[in-house]
A and B are shown apart, each in its own frame.
Chain A
Amino acid sequence: MNAAELAGQPTGPAVSAVAVRDLQVEIASTGTSVISDVSFELERGEILGVVGESGSGKTTVGLALLGHARPGLRIAGGSVLLGDRDILTLGEEQRQRLRGSVVSYVPQDPASSLNPALRVGLQLREVIEAHSRDRGSNHSERIAEMMREVALPDDRAFLKRYPHELSGGQQQRIGLAMAFANRPRLIVLDEPTTGLDVTTQAHVLSTVRELATLHHVAALYVSHDLAVVATLARRVAVMYAGRVVELGRADELFESAGHPYTRRLIGAIPRLTGGRSLVGIPGHAQSPGSRPPGCSFAPRCSLRIAQCEVALPELRPIGPGHTVRCIRAELVISGQQSRVGDPIEMPAAGEEDLPALRIADVVATYGRNEVVHSVSLSLAAHECLALVGESGSGKTTIARAIAGLHRGWTGTISLGGAELQTAARHRSRDARRRIQYIFQNPYGSLNPRQTVGQIVEQPLRVFGVASGREADERVAEMLERVSLTAAYARRYPDQLSGGERQRVAIARALVCDPTVLVCDEVTSALDVSVQAAIVELLGNLQRELGLSMLFITHNLPLVRSVAQRVAVLSQGNIVEVGDVGQVLADPGQPYTRQLISDTPSLETAIADVGLGQPPADAAGR
């Protein structure tokens, strides 16, 4: 490890809390490079955002900062200086002593990072005691202080709870309390808010910001969500295919990005203001081992010139503290070629009297709990209605009731005027055909034992629409429509990426010409750029085929890019319904207003003068 030599060298005045130099991570068995040439510095109290799509290596970098490599990987070079100590040159035992005290980690899923069998108070105590010299001293006061810092109750009753008795947001706060407990020099946060609701997310984010500033802790915030990063971090590193492709101040990065990839990534983010179509990034990142010799992004780049494919571009400065790994950065910044989505012309909803789908006084229960209270909605023909709500608001239950998958409901759901039976099994074949459902998770909604062809053909067979050669043709045609090729028919789901799987699910839903399409959080399992592409596709198909679409999501900005009308659902009640533009710009209900203000967005983050500064109300939480 050449890092050993580096550690011996004088590192200059220790201004930065953390300095990462030429970090290299490779696959242990083959030596294939996974992360290369990652360098950055962090000052005390600074939050650096690391963004990238899945597979870009952002988590690997985060873990390498703790001196850890996941099984099968190996840190092959570089240095991670914490003050004057290089964590990579230390022995495993010494590293262990540093973890939790000098460096700490907040994982993505708080539920799995807490021991379900131990009370939270005990787990907090363990963290303190593991790194404390005076064992006998009373840690209770310290624990109470930690709890207050993360805005949790500090009474004994709360500390005696088990992790499963806490909400997701509370669990993540416990995770934060543990990470900040010993006042580390560096904290690595790995998408800690991914599974949380926007409101909870906003609270957790402000807690992170406060604690980092208050205790002068440097933080590395890893996320795929640019909007979240923008609200939190002062500087952002954009990763692509294991390399940092752009590094700079957040506002500068978002307003004048110098790398085409950053541009496209920003273009893929749904905005709260101004309905623009989302533009996905065509193609996908190359996996380690098959990365091109030149710029990794070149195969997907519209600005590619011959030189791009010859040599790997160096990370070069294009402004104060702003570096870009692109030889055409100036051209990118000049901005003419940046493809930002065009404003969408939302077609007017059909003026027919009869709504395509009408839900009246639907009350749904799970066991003894009533989760949906008397909800009424109507979906006009050719209209896209977004149903927005936090998790637990009952939106999926409504969707499943419409599809006939949820048994416990009363009220009426009628399709084109005809009332529907509760269970799909009791509905007419035609009713089943006309309502199609796309599931949230494309990894669960495709039978792994069937080929794509068999999956897409299934509705044709079940509804007796087509068979044999005719069915094959319809399948091929449908696959083309969702921007796949007919050749995909012979593949199995596990050979597809998440976005491709969701396209297959869309093809299956549309192959029998439904009139109503229910999309249940169809993009929440996907990367931002893939999400943009899927939403683009769904929007186009909806307009072309004249579908009525119920688009369920927790992602408020996304609504802008697909729907004409929006219904806001809170705890099983519809609190507001209206045109998208009007509701988002001028919400009539406090709940909607809260939801919008909690939603991280690029505009507000950039508009907020204090990028990285806590907003005025944050201290109250």
Chain B
Amino acid sequence: MRANDVFRLSFQSLMRYPLRTSMLLVAIAIGVSSVIVLTSVAEGGRRYISGEFSTLGTNLLIMLPGRSDTAGAGLQGMLIGETSRDLTLDDARALARSPYVARYAPLVVGGGAVSWGSRERDITVLGTNAAFRDIQRWELAAGAFLPATDLDVLSPVCVLGNLIASELFAGANALGEWVRIGETRCRVTGVLAQAGTAGLFDSDELVVIPAANAQQIFDTPSVFRIYVEATAPESMDRAREDIIEIVTNRHQGIEDFTVIALDAILSTFNSIFAVVTGALAAIASISLIVAGVLIMNVMLVAVTQRTSEIGLFKALGANRRQILLLFLAEASVLALAGGVVGYVGGQGGALLLRTVYPLIDFHAPLWASLAGLAVAVASGLVFGILPARRASLLDPVEALAK
């Protein structure tokens, strides 16, 4: 038999029962499209989060006060009866001693009422230094960022996020104006470009002031975080060792802080999401197995219904292999057609998700789309074997008698 004749015969017999065939098609299509949609959700989430992280730069280390594991300084601290020390601006300044630290930025974060004239907004106030702009890759819409002064220097200046600037000034030029933050006043030196929620802060709704000013406003000697950028991805480990050594020495030999490497977090996230994506694909594939069982049932009925036709084919010179081939072809044509419909439907579903949530890039990974199709065809083949064998082994005499 010629391949296209086999294909045409399978197609013809599938078309003989359009309702039954289309129901099976839908069953398979649902399976394949759910593989694609579910994995595209997981993959979209992964891309979103890793995108958020990568805007922060990959050679970033973040210092926070306290130990995340209790085995080290935590226990020691407990025995000595000493709580962990806060990080300070002096700790941050000391980091400059390491040759592997390109730049560092202390963060003092709080909420405050920011007002200009009669307009007032409650908003996040971020105290930091000039280096933070480079670490965050922030663009300016107008003016300049914080001056590169020493960390201790108080300076009545501020930089506004894009949204807060347009809300407070409503189109008026913000540069050079004095705004009020709590009890203090500062002059607007710059406005950040619109960026949306990039990084860990929503830079559109933010007021940035020098770290010393923020400590004064929030009445605290401590620092919330210290962001450190290593000179290169390769020097991350060296930078980390240096940071730990420098600050531990400053804290009387107690390592009462934590250093997090962003790429480590990112790779953890990626591996978690890879597992989630795989699990979702596997779960969705179960529906394909169910569709395969449906195919098997329907094909078994078809073999019974077409007994006399099978007998005829044998009388006309078809051997067992050919009968087997015809039925297997029928099952796989059906599964492939359902798979293609499901593929289109699944990609359409992902497109719909992207349209509704444009922030997240819902794309099924290629392997998941292909695996969905492959599992559909494979289940058609595997579950087609039993009915096809039964057909091929039919006794032509009995088959023709029906």
Asked if A pairs with B, the answer is no
- B residues at A contact (CB < 8 Å): none
